[in-house]
Structure 1
């Protein structure tokens, strides 16, 4: 799994218990998955279709740095399926895991659009062509 983004837990990210608000973390995950899928599928009209069970394993507190990891598990005709893990950067303790996030590439009418991709492409490889 590759960890792409880090977030610093600030006061506005906390719930009444003084720990990271789960909704904020899910917002960050959804944004990270969307950005990753948009870049992979080369389509800015890519949306979240499905997110499987969310498993909160530990919490984070103000001042902690968390990192969001994504891994491609499947390329569909118009979709990209990802697995996600968020962990504490310093302790590497897992905070949350999501087994399946499905992102779908859309056309200009909002319908699923085949993307023709079958494997992960890295920006450095695209620039070499």
Structure 2
């Protein structure tokens, strides 16, 4: 499988803000995981996918009410039962990400035990290869 990029946009509203009137980190983390989940659930049954780990979030700039948070997610590493997704966030009017990170998801059976997902990833793009190497180092 050649990795596909998924786009996921969210409007930052007043109820998403913290006491500094910027996007609350907890809300952003929720959206971050949703963006990653969308990439995985596009290939596997959603009820068999769980989030195992968020590998750090470093905010470079804040988002404010009225901004559009644009998440891009892509599966960059496939283990036996795990998939690692790279997710970046930018404000819709800018290209440079203001946040990026990796999330590990695990494919489980109906009893909650990890099971093989049977997916393999074919990487040809140098940027995807570099992301895959970074993801592999997180294991």
TM-score, L = length of structure 2: 0.79
Question: What residue number does 1:24 align with?
Answer: 27
- Higher strand proportion, which one? 1
Contact 1:43-1:105 at 8 Å conserved across structures: no
Q: Does 1:42 align with 2:64?
A: no
Secondary structure of 2:32's aligned partner: helix
Question: What residue number does 1:63 align with?
Answer: 66
- Counterparts of 1:3 and 1:116 in 2: how far apart (Å)? 21
- Counterparts of 2:53 and 2:30 in 1: how far apart (Å)? 14
Contact 2:6-2:38 at 8 Å conserved across structures: no
Q: C-alpha deviations, 1:66-109, integer Å up to 9, x for none? A: 111112221111111111110000123422111x2110011000
Give the CA deviation at 1:33: 1.4
Question: What residue number does 1:6 align with?
Answer: 9
Alpha-carbon RMSD across the aligned residues, in angstroms, is: 1.7
Structure 1: segments with no counterpart, 5+ residues: 121-129
Contact 1:58-1:94 at 8 Å conserved across structures: no
Residues 1:25 and 1:102: Cα distance change in structure 2 (over 3 Å)? same
Structure 2: segments with no counterpart, 5+ residues: 123-139
TM-score, L = length of structure 1: 0.84
Secondary structure of 2:66's aligned partner: coil
Q: 1:85 aligns with which of 85, 88, 97?
A: 88
